[in-house]
Amino acid sequence: MRYEYELDFEVRDYECDLQGIVNNAVYLHYLEHSRHKYLLSKGIDFAKMHEEGKDLVVVRVEADYKSPLKSGDRFVIRLNVSKEGRLRMVFHQDIYRLPDEKLVLKAKTLGVCLLNGRPIVAEEVERALFS
């Protein structure tokens, strides 16, 4: 699969549980951070949008855990984004351990833009991501 964005990370000690592996909830933080960095790289300004009453929110996350990460492991998150219907954007995110490129996690995150709590098509997001 060809990806349009990637971001490197390293596992920090405090992200691991008693088993010595990254806690499952931490992966959601990794995914969120990579989505935010991707959107920022596309010129999407969260603070400005919020001032206008618009917020990008996650409505669903599906994650398939394939292999664990441990403290000190380096990894990369790669992503693509697509449309689902008129309002939803879908982030396809895969995590690979480095340097061996072992698949760690496959995720699908659905998001929408809300204006004062109601779903809308945000023109600035459409232009940045899909044109």
Active site residue 55: no
HEC string for the chain: CCCCEEEEEECCHHHECCCCEECHHHHHHHHHHHHHHHHHHCCCCHHHHHHCCEEEEEEEEEEEECCCCECCCEEEEEEEEEEECCCEEEEEEEEEEECCCEEEEEEEEEEEEEECCEEECCHHHHHHHHC
* Active-site annotation holder among 8, 13, 17, 100: 17
Whether the Cβ atoms of residue 23 and residue 16 lie closer than 8 Å to each other: yes
The DSSP secondary-structure symbol of 17 reads -
Just list the catalytic residues: 17
